Amino acid sequence: MRRAPRQIPTAAEWARTLPRGARVPWSELEAHVLREHPAVLRLMGPAAAGVRASRPGFRAMLGVGIVLGGVVLLAIVWAPIWGLATLSGDAFGVRDVDGAVAVPVAGVSLLVAAVLQLGLLVRALRGRPDAAGIGGGTAVLAVLIGIGTALVGARQDVPAWTAWVGLAAAVAALGLANVVLARVLPHRTAPPRPRDAASPGDRLDRDRALDEAIAALPEAERTRLLDDRRRAIEWLRLQGTVSPDEAARAMRAPLGRLGAST
């Protein structure tokens, strides 16, 4: 049986999860009110980040990105191993392979490893030399691929096999360079970047854009959203989480301005 996707709770449902007497994050409550309107949530800033991240579409895209990133990373890290496996059978007399195919395949894996090592080298020179393990492992595999390429290439007279051996030597040198830099260079921690305070003009522009986005909603939808917010506030008042005066102030706040009004 297919399980239904997890829905973001309404504001009234979310309010019931707050501990009695807890401080009410009004902006987050309003983000739950507007949970079905991503364009409005984007204008609400950090207060709506949690609600936006809970949307099914956002989670699906995040999952796809993680899977694709994992596949790419796996291909990069394991490329030298694949290249070595391609050559190892013939190089060590276990089984015969076609050197005209195996040597270029191993060479392509070395090209992938070279790109990885160059990226790690740049990272090390910028003060983050933390890839000694990857560099050392890749260097060892590159040496083994170079030996296998030389054996297969010389035995089967594979065209340009010496160039592939030279590439293996270059990748091994890059890996060793990463190992050395990881041991020699100091780790430089970048200072935290200060958050730029929004100027009054920026805040006015953002507030105006938010008001326009709210005004663009159909009147019936605004009424429905305000009713959801009213029920959430009423629950908080009945539980004693907010005072009657604070609840009345929150009720009067324009849609989209609950956090600023309370």
- Whether residue 40 contacts residue 239, with contact meaning beta carbons closer than 8 Å, is answered with no
Please tell me the least confidently modeled range out of 78-82, 92-96, 156-160, 169-173.
92-96
HSE, side-chain direction, 13 A CA sphere, residue 74: 6
Tens digits of per-residue pLDDT, 126-142? Answer: 766 665 667 777 788 88
Residue 107 has pLDDT above 90, yes or no: no
- The mean predicted confidence, pLDDT, of the chain is 75
Question: Please, what is the angle between helix 132-156 and helix 161-184, to 10°?
Answer: 160
CB 83 within 8 A of CB 109: yes
Q: Is the pLDDT of residue 196 over 50?
A: no
Q: Give pLDDT tens digits for 204-259.
A: 887 788 888 888 999 999 999 999 999 999 998 988 888 899 989 989 988 888 87
d(CA 24, CA 15): 9
Rounded to the nearest angstrom, the gap between the alpha carbon of residue 185 and the centroid of all alpha carbons in its chain is 28
What's the confidence (pLDDT) of residue 160? 85
